[in-house]
Amino acid sequence: MSDNMRYEIGCALADSKRHSFLQPSLVELAKSRGIYLVPVDSTKRLVDQGPFDAILHKLSDKQWNDQLREYRAKYPHVTVIDPLEAIERLHNRISMLRAVQELKITEGNETFEVPRQNVVEKYEELTDLKILEGLKFPVIAKPLVANGTAISHSMSLVFNSKGLKTLKPPLVLQEFVNHGGVIFKVYVVGDFVKCVKRNSLPDVSDEKMKNSVEGFILFSQISNLTAENYDEGREIEQAELPPARFIEDLASGLREVLGLRLFNFDLIRSSEARNRYFVIDINYFPGYNKMPGYEAILTDFFWNLCHEHQKISGREVALGGREIDDKVASELEKDIVNDEEKKVAFTVDIGKESNVDDRVSIVATVIK
C-alpha cells in the first residue's frame, strides 16, 4: 500500500459517545497515520455519505440497522466494526453470558464461571418463591435488556422476598457473589487486552441482610464512581490483578466466541476462594477513553485493520481487517490476478457455524 494512503472510517455514535471517544488527540494521531475518523451525519442517509473503507458504530435502533444493511448492499467491501448480529447478542443479559459457557479454555489454577441466574418475565412470578429455584439471597436484579439506556443500567441488590416485590420484569435475578468490593474490567481492542481495577459493591454480611428494612438497595453504574466519591477506594489500591495469562486466555476466547473486536468484560474474584472468578457483564464498545494512552491503542487497531496482510499463492494481500480461513483463502486465490496493486471485491459463503454473517464481503488488495 502506498505511503500517502487514506483510510476513511465512518463513526456512527450517539452525541455523548462521539464527544468522549472522538477526542481531538485520537482524531489527530489517527490522521497522522492516514486514518480519517469521520463522524457519520445522523441527519443524512448513510448511503449518501462516504464512501468509507470501514464503519465503526455503536447505535442499535432499527433505523440504524436498516441503514447499515443498505450501505453494505451498496458497498459490499466495507468493513463493519463490529457485525450487527454479533453485537445483538450482548443486548440480552442471558445470551451475553452464555458466551462464557461456550468458551473452550483449559482451566489452570484459576477457574471461571457465571453466577447462577434465572429470568423473570412477568411480575406475578415474583410473588412465587419458585422463581428463586437454586438461587440464594442476596441477588442482583438486572434488566434483561442491556441496550445502553439508563434504565438498562438500573439495578437492585435484593435481600429478601419483600425486596423482590419492588422489581419490574423482564429481568434477570443473579446471585450476588461476595468479591471484596473490587471489580476487574478487561478491555479488548482487537488483539490488545488491558485489565484495570474499579470500585464495586461491598460484600454483604448475614447481619446486613437481616437488618435490611426495605429488603433492597437501588444502584446504577457503580464501577464508574471514582475513588474520591466512594469510600472503599483503599481496597482498590491493595487488590492484586488476576494473572495476566488467565486474562489473556479469557479475552481471546471471548473475542472468538462473540465474533467481536471491541468490547470489555467485568470479572469478579470470590472472597472465599481466591482463584475462583465470575464473569458478570460484557459490554460492546465501552468507554475506551478512560484507558490511559487509548489514542495509540485505537490508532494501532485501525492501522492493523487496513494493513492486515496474508500470503495467498505467494502474493501479499491486505484484507481490510477480515480474518479468513482456508476455505475463503482458496476462493480468493481464484480471483487474484497477475496485476500489481489490484482490488478484488467479492462475496464468499463462510458457512453457518460462523458467528458473523453467512455471507461476507471482502476487499483484497494485492500488494506484491
Ligand X SMILES: Nc1ncnc2c1ncn2[C@@H]1O[C@H](COP(=O)(O)OP(=O)(O)OP(=O)(O)O)[C@@H](O)[C@H]1O
Ligand Y SMILES: O=P(O)(O)O[C@H]1[C@H](OP(=O)(O)O)[C@@H](OP(=O)(O)O)[C@@H](O)[C@@H](O)[C@@H]1OP(=O)(O)O
Q: Closer CB to ligand X, residue 224 or residue 330?
A: 224
Q: How far apart are CA 197 and CA 236, in angstroms?
A: 6
Give least dist CB 98 to ligand Y, A. Answer: 18
User: What is the x/- site pattern for Mg ion, positions 259-298, by CB under 5 A?
Assistant: -------x--------------x-x---------------
Alpha-carbon distance of 34 to 41, in angstroms, equals 21
The answer on whether 176 is annotated among ligand-binding residues is: yes
Which of positions 158-177 make contact with ligand Y (CB under 6 A)? none
Cβ at position 174, least distance to ligand X in Å: 5
Q: In 3-state terms, what secondary structure has residue 195?
A: strand
Residue 126 lies near ligand X (rule: CB under 6 A)? no
Q: Check binding of 200 to ligand X (CB under 6 A).
A: yes
Separation between Cα atoms, residue 177 and residue 338, nearest integer Å = 60
* CA angle at 320 for the pair 314 and 326, rounded to the nearest 5°: 50
Q: CB of residue 229 vs ligand Y: minimum separation in angstroms?
A: 14
Q: How many CB atoms lie within 10 A of CB 283?
A: 17
State which residue, 17 or 307, has the beta carbon closest to ligand Y.
Answer: 17
243 binds, among ligand X, ligand Y, Mg ion, none (CB under 5 to 8 A by kind): none
Which of positions 155-184 make contact with ligand X (CB under 6 A)?
A: 155, 174, 176-177, 179, 183
Is residue 5 classed as helix, strand or coil in its secondary structure? coil
What is the Cα gyration radius of the chain? 23
Shortest distance, CB of residue 265 to Mg ion, whole angstroms?
8
Query: Sheet containing 276-284: which strands, arranged edge to edge?
Result: 111-113, 276-284, 262-269, 182-189, 192-199
51: preceding bond cis by omega (within 30 degrees): yes
Do residues 302 and 312 make contact, with C-beta atoms less than 8 angstroms apart?
no
Binding mask 258-277 for ligand Y (x = CB under 6 A): ------x-------------
Q: Where are the alpha helices (DSSP H) in the chain?
A: 15-21, 24-31, 62-74, 84-88, 93-101, 161-164, 206-211, 233-238, 244-258, 294-307, 326-335
> Which residues participate in the annotated binding site for ATP?
93, 142, 174-185, 200
> Which residues participate in the annotated binding site for 1D-myo-inositol 1,3,4-trisphosphate?
17, 58, 153, 185, 283, 287
Residues of this chain that interact with ligand Y (CB under 6 A) are: 16-17, 20, 58, 146, 148, 185, 223-224, 264, 283, 286-287, 290
Residues of this chain that interact with ligand X (CB under 6 A) are: 115, 140, 142, 146, 153, 155, 174, 176-177, 179, 183, 200-201, 221-223, 266, 268, 280-281, 283
